[in-house]
Each structure stands twice: as C-alpha cells, then as structure tokens.
C-alpha cells in the first residue's frame, strides 16, 4: 500500500515513521523552505523521530499526491481549505483521505472533514484519525488508543484494521460530528489547564475535565451528533495528553500566557475557541469555558483593561466563571 503523508511537522513526521515501521510504502511531503522539511532533508531526523531511509522525502506535491493510494494530511487546520485546492489540481478520484489533525475552520464553522467534502471530495473517501497520545511517548514504545471515524463504514474499518499495532489500538468511531468536535474542543480545554497550572490551581483540573466535557457534549448534541462522544477517546479520553502532559502545546500555551511569555509553537486551541464561540452562538448553546478562553486569547470583554497583566485577567475570568448562576449539573 502506498501512503503519502502531507505535512512533516510533529504529527506528520511521526505518522510517516509509524506507517513505515508497519511496512507500508511511505512518502513524506513538506513545502520547500519550510523549517520542518528542511531539517528532515538535511539531517534525516527532527526532535521527535529519525526517518527510515525507506521513506521518500519530497517537496514535490504532485509526486506525493499522484503516487499515493491513501493521502494523510497533517497541517495547521486553518490552512486546510487552501491546501486542498492545491491537491485537487491532480486526479484524486480514487484516493482515500485521512485527516490526522484537530480543529474547526474559523471562517465557516466547518469541521475539517466538511472542508474536504465541500471542496468536492466524496465523503466515502474521507476519514479522521484522532485520539490521545504523544509522539514522545509513542517513540519510547508506550502504547495508547486512538479512533478512526468516517461516513464510510468500509473505509474506517479498513483503515483501523490496517493501521493497528501493538503501539496503537484503534477503535471504530461511530459519530463523525462528535469525534471531530470533541477532538478539536479538547485543545480549548487544554489552554484552560495551562492557565490553572500557571495560577497554581491544579486541583481544579478534575472539575475542568467534567465541566469541559459537559460543555462539549451540549454542542455536539445541538449540531446533530451523539453527546456521548464527548466522553469518548476523541475528547475526554485525550485529557491526560492535553491537560496534564508536559508535551501538550495547548497546555503550555495557557501556562505561558499566565506568565506573559510567548509560546512559539502551534496551539490549535486558539483558533478553535473562536470557531466554537461562533458555533455556540449559531446553535444557541451555552459555552462558558470556551467563551472565557476566547476572551483571554483575543482580548475581548471587560477583562482586558489597559495595563492589566495576563495572570490578573486569568484570575478575573476564573472568578467570573465561579460567579455564574447555579445550574443543574447536567443542564442542556
């Protein structure tokens, strides 16, 4: 089986490494001049993995797309629509696409699988691969569980059965809406976890996991998904990796925000908070944690007084969440 992984950053390089070790014919693509690609090209490795010499590393998108039976995409979520338009310059009618990325398009509120289908790719050829796990743990041989979901029963079962190993146990997803929204939303909750670390409120993480999952469940249900998906691997199951791990980009972003330091790596929870806030307004869903993250990241609301440092803003936002009217624990 020929597989091309488009995007050679943290997850992209790991996926290429993992699937090559599974014995597949793998191509790893990155844009010429991109830091991640140039590091791999010059050294054959990055801070996460060493690429097997069997992996074809290229910056030629046509080569990567046309040779593949399965195309896995792992890039920044907000750049997906434009990137797909480039892929569609080639014949992809019989190719399967797997999105190994988490997010929601801010401009449209579209889930990432919807970005592909709205671009003209058949839903029967689109799947998502999400769930807990950090590359640093996987490369040390520490196993975890993940989910592959799709509108196509045949595709998700074929992919999960083909990609499973002693390192990753896959489950078949049963709710594409819930799987994607849950996976994206966990990055928003991860930012709050970092804020709690920075403020010294680590004991609140249990409540954050519970209330965050409930908030996400309400949104999933309103969008037509199964609210139980919020308590599955794509969201609640990813809590350790996102809310507690030193490797979590979103948690680190939140912690650095409190300390008024700049976090240089990608934190998908920031644009996802903006997208979820819009979805909450569209569907009439109460998303207090999401809205607090949006206010913190985008500087809106009365909390952003001039001269006020980020820790003070974070403490005020937490106080506002606690001051909300008392509600039933499982309110809709």
**Rounded to the nearest 5°, which phi and psi values hold at 161?**
-70, -35
Structural contact between residues 248 and 139, judged by C-beta atoms closer than 8 angstroms: no
Clarify whether 278 is annotated catalytic: no
On the 0-12 / 13-18 / 19+ scale of CB atoms within 10 A, 234 is buried
Phi-psi region of 272 (alpha: psi -120 to 50; beta: other; left: phi over 0): alpha
Query: Would the CA dihedral through 152, 158, 161, 163 be positive or negative?
Result: negative
> Residue 214 carries which DSSP code?
H
On the 0-12 / 13-18 / 19+ scale of CB atoms within 10 A, 51 is buried
Measuring CA to CA, how many Å separate 161 from each of 66, 149, 164, 170, 171?
Answer: 24, 12, 6, 8, 9
Q: Please give the distance of CA 294 from its chain centroid, rounded to a whole number.
A: 17
> Residue 73 carries which DSSP code?
E
Query: Collapsing DSSP states into helix, strand and coil, what is residue 29?
Result: strand
- Annotated catalytic residue: which of 102, 186, 205, 316? 186
Residue whose tokens read 């790596």: 265
Structural contact between residues 112 and 104, judged by C-beta atoms closer than 8 angstroms: yes
Structure tokens at 216: 């996400």
Structural contact between residues 177 and 223, judged by C-beta atoms closer than 8 angstroms: yes
* Catalytic residue numbers, as ranges: 186
């Amino acid at each position: 089986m020929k597989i091309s992984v488009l995007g050679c950053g943290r997850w992209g390089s790991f996926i290429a490494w993992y699937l090559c070790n599974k014995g597949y014919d793998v191509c790893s693509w990155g844009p010429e001049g991109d830091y991640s690609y140039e590091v791999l090209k010059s050294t054959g490795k990055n801070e996460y993995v060493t690429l097997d010499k069997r992996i074809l590393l290229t910056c030629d998108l046509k080569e990567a797309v046309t040779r593949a039976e399965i195309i896995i995409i792992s890039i920044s979520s907000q750049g997906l629509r434009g990137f797909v338009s480039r892929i569609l310059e080639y014949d992809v009618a019989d190719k399967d696409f797997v999105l190994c990325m988490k997010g929601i398009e801010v401009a449209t509120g579209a889930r990432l699988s919807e970005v592909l289908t709205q671009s003209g790719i058949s839903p029967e050829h689109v799947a998502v691969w999400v769930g807990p796990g950090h590359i640093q743990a996987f490369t040390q041989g520490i196993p975890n569980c993940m989910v592959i979901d799709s509108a196509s029963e045949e595709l998700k079962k074929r992919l999960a059965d083909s990609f499973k190993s002693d390192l990753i146990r896959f489950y078949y997803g049963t709710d594409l809406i819930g799987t994607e929204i849950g996976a994206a939303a966990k990055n928003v909750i991860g930012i709050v976890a970092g804020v709690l670390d920075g403020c010294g409120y680590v004991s609140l993480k249990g409540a954050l996991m519970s209330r965050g999952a409930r908030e996400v469940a309400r949104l999933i249900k309103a969008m037509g998904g199964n609210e139980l998906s919020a308590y599955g691997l794509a969201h609640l199951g990813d809590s350790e990796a996102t809310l507690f791990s030193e490797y979590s980009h979103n948690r680190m972003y939140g912690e650095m925000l409190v300390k008024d330091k700049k976090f240089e790596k990608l934190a998908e929870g920031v644009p996802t908070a903006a997208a979820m806030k819009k979805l909450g307004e569209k569907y009439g869903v109460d998303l207090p944690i999401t809205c607090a993250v949006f206010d913190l990241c985008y500087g809106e609301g009365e909390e952003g007084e001039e001269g006020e440092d980020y820790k003070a803003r974070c403490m005020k936002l937490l106080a506002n969440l606690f001051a909300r009217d008392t509600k039933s624990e499982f309110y809709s």
